[in-house]
Amino acid sequence: MNSIKNVPARVLSRRSGHSLEAEREQFDKTQAISISKAINTQEAPVKEKHARRIILGTHHEKGAFTFWSYAIGLPLPSSAILSWKLCHVLHKVLRDGHPNVLHDCQRYRSNIREIGELWGHLHDRYGQLVNIYTKLLLTKISFHLKHPQFPAGLEVTDEVLEKAAGTDVNNIFQLTVEMFDYMDCELKLSESVFRQLNTAIAVSQMSSGQCRLAPLIQVIQDCSHLYHYTVKLMFKLHSCLPADTLQGHRDRFHEQFHSLRNFFRRASDMIYFKRLIQIPRLPEGPPNFLRASALAEHIKPVVVIPEEAPEDEEPENLIEISTGPPAKEPAVATDLFEQTFGPPNGSVKDDRDLQIESLKREVEMLRAELEKMKLEAQRYITQLKGQGNALEAELEEQRKQKQRALVDNEQLRHELAQLRAARLEDERNQGLREEAEKKAIATEARYNRLKEKHSELVNTHAELLRKNADTAKQLTVTQQSQEEVARVKEQLAFQMEQARRDSEMKLEEQSDQLEKLMRELEAKAGELVRVQEALSHTEQSGSELSTQLATLSAEKDTLSSAVRQREADLLAAQDLVREKEAALTQEQQRGSRERDELQGQLVEKESQEQKLQQRLLDEQFAVLRGAAAEAETILRDAVGKLDDPLHLRCTSSPDYLVSRAQAALDSVSMLESGHAQYVASMSDASALVAALTRFSHLAADTIVNGSATSHLAPTDPADRLMDMCRECGAQGLELVGQLQDRQVVPQARPGLMRTALQAILQLGQELKPKSLDVRQEELGAMVDKEMAATSAAIEDAVQRIEDMMNQARQASSGVKLEVNERILKSCTDLMKAIRLLVTTSTKLQKEIVESGRGAATQQEFYAKNSWWTEGLISASKAVGWGATQLVESADRVVLHMGKYEELIVCSHEIAASTAQLVAASKVKADKHSRHLSQLQECSRSVNEMAANVVASTKSGQEQIEDRDTMDFSGLSLIKLKKQEMESQVRVLELEKTLEAERMRLGELRKQHYALAGGMGTPGQEEPARPVAAPRSGASKKPPLAQKPTIAPKQDQQLDRKDGVHPAQLVNY
């Protein structure tokens, strides 16, 4: 009976013969697309979905053969970015791919090393990173091949680590050194990436920066495990060896610890990593290996990768899933057949069939690889032949150039022979010239002898004179030709020497080129021999595979005979099946009648259930529509308030707007979840109704508070905030409108509300006060500290003024002493008035805090009213700084090193600073407060004392300065006119200088206001408060006080009855 059950195995498995080839083709196509999309020349990070498909492909084929078959064909030497992305993908494949990937990558170590060395020799920014990355990958492959207990992902238990280390100290020592080397390669890559980002001033949100930063995610994962393992191994080494022996290990670990901690800190500060990986924090200091109990304090760093958001693109099937046609036989017949003959195993092939098909696939793959290698070898041979032909052509060209040089050399030799012949001719002419000279001498002697016979030989003498003249002419011509020959000789000699040098240089260059070409030809011949050897080896492997295929074919024939025997048994079984089918038909007829009756009852029940289900759906949608209508009313009311004139008087703080916008954003997630549940099951709308109700209230609250916040914000942020509130309202109304239409409900997209709400949240964050150097919980202590510092500065100023007064009494006398005492006395009175004002302001602030904080602490009150607190701090700094400047100016005036105008300007500055302090204290004080009245009196007293300082300074200046008497009685009309013109010129020059100085003052004030506004535009929390910029966090406070940055005031006139006077610009 068992033999009968196994009969249908081959018959029922009716799969197409080319399904495996189609599946392989589809797999290769998918892998090729993923590799081409993941590894390209675009300066952008590798997308996770493409890398994930490549990793799944390695698990599908249990190796990285397909990956490397495409990777080695990429033009890696042409693009450093392409090589960088290949290293990144290879790192991910090593970590998360199939374990056999490690052995496949071992075969391509030379390719990885060549790419790294190629880019290491080039001065390319990505090339240097590729060089470092390839070294890391080679180290990783070597380490995991040497220690197979550690997977490429480096995630093992402590028991496996103990087993891998063993009990031999030498093995533990060596394993620790290898892990240190491994960690050095990881840290070197991270440091190189950060160094390039700092050089390029790149940010982590740019694609170029993300392309460099993406591989550091794998580096962080590797480093966390390596750090934990090195700590364990170091403690184990210290338990076996003396501490002095391991000093080098400790030093190396400490260096790596600080580098790793710095790397984790910098990476955790980048926005790019915050959404992709949760980076652990290392302790402040390295573990103390000298204390064995410190191991219990060690905490293993854990890296967490958040769950990835679903991709917009549906992943392609790595395996072609073919759904077979439905069985033609009835289900009852199939069940009966299974009960009689057992379950069919047609879906499970025989082991030998599977082995045959597997071997066929391997043979086909090896054949394809062999063909590919043959084509590659043929291409290399063609390239080498082409290069050899090119070298032969260049050699022939060099031979032609050599022949031309020899011809030129022969021509030069011929010209040299001609020059030598011309020189011999010149020598002959020289002999003739000498003979002519001798004849001339003889003629002159004859003339002397025949001088007495002059009268008789006149005719003879005349003829001799003519001969002499002709000879002289010939001599002159001979001399000129000799000089010309000498010049030509020199020119020819120079040209010959130059031609000889050029010929020698050409011969040397041609010889060098010829030797270089011969060496290259020998190298190419060696490469050709190696390629031919590889090709012969491949052909030998192919012949072995052919032998194996013949053996398999013989086994296939044997199996075919067994199959024919099985088919004969099948025919006998079919006769028995037909008999059973007759009995089965009768049973089916009886069962069909019973089934018809049951189906009639079932249809009736289903109709009733459908009616009830439809009624439930209608009721649930009615509830949803009512909630959506109410939400629409709430949102329309909120949107309507944006243009309501009565709403203009309503204000809100950015902090409250941020809290409302954040709550609305959180409600969007609940709304999406409720919508998804309702679309999945429309019989329950409770979750969507609750989420919609909460969302409508929070969104309306956000819109109303956004409008209220914009009333106190600057113009541009206010306009943008209003626009985003309108957009948020429009999107909300569109959403609730869709939820009221049953046909459109599934297409509704609540997630679109996030964009507008996030924009409102961002604008609220921008409008929030920006305290750069002080946290909100420290503001209270800062107020007391600044007020105390201001009081100390004023006390010190009073003491210094008294010291100056004593010095002035000793060093001066007469009018100067009188003026100095009057100025210093007025300054002392001013300092006393300021000290009283600061003391009164401190009391008033304490009264405000006690009356307004309620059950909260003083720190919480200051944190809640942060802008008012910073206004007090700024005003206090301004008063202390003004007092310090006044004392320094008075000191310089007394010592005759300063100007009286400095005292006047400082007095005005102190008046403005006290006005700011009074305004800052007044905004939260009770109108009927006794301390407020005293503060206003003190402010008026300060203004009066400042006016006294100005008056005493001006009077002292007039008293000390000498004024020349203007006596023009002795001047003539011409001199008067001349001095009048000079005076007019001087007046014009002073007016021009005054105008330029006024423009400079205006620009300085503009820059002051710009800096004050850049430090943070205040968004008002209270109905009114002093306008003051926050403190600068980058500057340090001087010994006494520092002038704060004060924002420009909006009003030119303040409340004088409160003792507040604005500072005025005085031109001198």
CA distance 860 to 865: 9
pTM: 0.35
**Three state DSSP letters for 738-767:** HHCCCCCHHHCCHHHHHHHHHHHHHHHHHH
pLDDT above 90 covers what percent of the chain?
9
Q: Phi, psi (5° rounding) for residue 24?
A: -65, -40
Residue 459's pLDDT band, with cuts at 50, 70 and 90, is low
CA distance 343 to 849: 87
pLDDT computed for residue 207 by the predictor: 81
Is the model's pLDDT at 718 over the cut of 60? yes
Reported as a single tens digit per residue, the pLDDT across 857-868 is 666 676 666 667
Q: Mean pLDDT across the stretch 1033-1054?
A: 35
Reported as a single tens digit per residue, the pLDDT across 356-400 is 888 888 888 888 888 888 887 777 787 787 777 778 777 777 777
CB atoms within 10 A of CB 223: 24
pLDDT computed for residue 142 by the predictor: 92
CB atoms within 10 A of CB 541: 14
Dmax (CA) of the chain: 184
CA distance 63 to 49: 19
pLDDT computed for residue 916 by the predictor: 77
pLDDT computed for residue 135 by the predictor: 92
Tokens 């031109």 correspond to 1067
- Closest C-alpha among 398, 391, 413 to residue 507: 398
Per-range mean pLDDT, top range of 530-534, 539-543, 722-726, 915-919: 722-726
Is the model's pLDDT at 266 over the cut of 50? yes
Is the model's pLDDT at 138 over the cut of 90? yes
CB 94 within 8 A of CB 152: yes
Identify the weakest region by mean pLDDT among 405-409, 502-506, 852-856.
Answer: 852-856
- Closest C-alpha among 118, 141, 150, 145 to residue 131: 118
Give the chain's end-to-end CA distance (angstroms, integer).
124
Instruction: Compare 485 and 290 and report the one with higher pLDDT.
Output: 290
Is the model's pLDDT at 761 over the cut of 50? yes
- Closest C-alpha among 378, 336, 267 to residue 583: 336
Reported as a single tens digit per residue, the pLDDT across 583-597 is 788 777 887 878 888
CA distance 952 to 904: 10
Identify the weakest region by mean pLDDT among 309-318, 455-464, 496-505.
Answer: 309-318
CA distance 722 to 725: 5
3-state DSSP assignment of residue 304: strand
DSSP 766-809: HHS---SS--GGGHHHHHHHHHHHHHHHHHHHHHHHHHHHHHHH
CA distance 958 to 951: 11
CB atoms within 10 A of CB 132: 19
pLDDT computed for residue 453 by the predictor: 65
DSSP assigned state of 648: G
DSSP assigned state of 1040: S
Average pLDDT of the chain to the nearest whole number: 76
Q: Phi, psi (5° rounding) for residue 278?
A: -100, 110
CB 117 within 8 A of CB 109: no
CA distance 327 to 523: 67
CA distance 582 to 697: 72
pLDDT computed for residue 93 by the predictor: 92
pLDDT computed for residue 725 by the predictor: 92
Identify the weakest region by mean pLDDT among 29-38, 260-269, 600-609, 615-624.
Answer: 600-609
Q: Phi, psi (5° rounding) for residue 251?
A: -60, -45
pLDDT computed for residue 634 by the predictor: 92
Q: Mean pLDDT across the stretch 964-989?
A: 77
H helices, E strands: number in the chain: 29, 0
CA distance 156 to 165: 13
Q: Mean pLDDT across the stretch 717-721?
A: 87
Identify the weakest region by mean pLDDT among 319-323, 750-754, 768-772, 865-869.
Answer: 319-323
Q: Mean pLDDT across the stretch 824-850?
A: 79
Instruction: Compare 405 and 463 and report the one with higher pLDDT.
Output: 405
Q: Phi, psi (5° rounding) for residue 322?
A: -105, 125
CA distance 105 to 115: 14
Is the model's pLDDT at 332 over the cut of 60? no
177-198 CB burial, b ≥16 within 10 A, e <16 = eebbebbbbbbebbebbbebbe
Q: Mean pLDDT across the stretch 476-500?
A: 71
Provide the token pair at 267. 């990476």
pLDDT computed for residue 1047 by the predictor: 39
Residue 769's pLDDT band, with cuts at 50, 70 and 90, is low
pLDDT computed for residue 781 by the predictor: 65
CA distance 831 to 836: 9
CA distance 1055 to 923: 13
CA distance 781 to 779: 5
Is the model's pLDDT at 129 over the cut of 80? yes
pLDDT above 70 covers what percent of the chain?
76
pLDDT computed for residue 862 by the predictor: 67
